[in-house]
Amino acid sequence: MLKKILCAFLLSSSALYATKEIELKISVDDGQRASLEKWLSKNAVCKGTSKQTEYYLTNPDKPWDTSKGFKDASQTLRVRCEKKGDSVCFKQAHYDPITKKRTHRDEFETKVQDGVIMLDILRSLGYSTITLVSKIRTTYLVRDTFEVVLDDVESVGKFIEIELKKPTDDVKAGLKSIQNFLKEVGITEFTEYERSYIHMMWNPGHDFGTRTFLH
């Protein structure tokens, strides 16, 4: 019964409290990454570097989708533990009906006093820990408009995420503004990933990257 109540809360709350997560996850060569770091040091506010330990759990009533030839999930439930405070987050992915490419995610997140206890509660309700993601993240804020994070993910690699921080209902316009930002900092060629770090860990032999060129 408790598990059903929690599921209902997560799904109903997304409509009331969720924010639209509009972002691009990319990887670049070492030279481009160094150039971006130099640009950020001069033009952005560094919010610090932290080690994040994340526990991703699965709803036993919603197993992996393997219809695409790899393990996939449109919903993720995460408990994050880090020095500045723990949190729990639920995300629901949305896809373009024609291209089937992920466009954005509904996200709602809240702080919790103790992430380990939150994890134990979810396990007691029937959720099982499926993936542990450990990463070092450095976060920058650009003009109160973009959050740029530099991630070094254990067993996965180095990535950059650029997220639009100004709320908008126009997903295409939001993605376009991120692309324009990348062009502003001189990044016009990169590998884009529409799946998360957990997807990469679930499917170590699958390449989720798409080579992208901005004009």
Alpha-carbon distance values, 178 to 1, 42, 74, 133 (Å): 43, 19, 23, 26
Q: Which DSSP letter does residue 195 get?
A: S
Kindly report the pTM of this predicted structure: 0.89
Q: Which position has the token pair 């100004």?
A: 166
Could you give the CA distance from residue 201 to residue 155 in angstroms, rounded to a whole number? Answer: 8
CATH topology of domain 17-213: Hypothetical Protein Pfu-838710-001 (2.40.320)
Contact 129, 123 (CB under 8 A): yes
pLDDT in tens, 156-203: 999 999 999 998 989 999 999 999 999 999 999 999 999 999 999 999
Q: What is the largest CA-CA distance in the chain?
A: 53
∠85-202-107 over CA atoms, to 5°?
45
pLDDT in tens, 50-107: 999 999 998 888 778 999 899 999 999 999 999 999 999 999 999 999 988 899 999 9
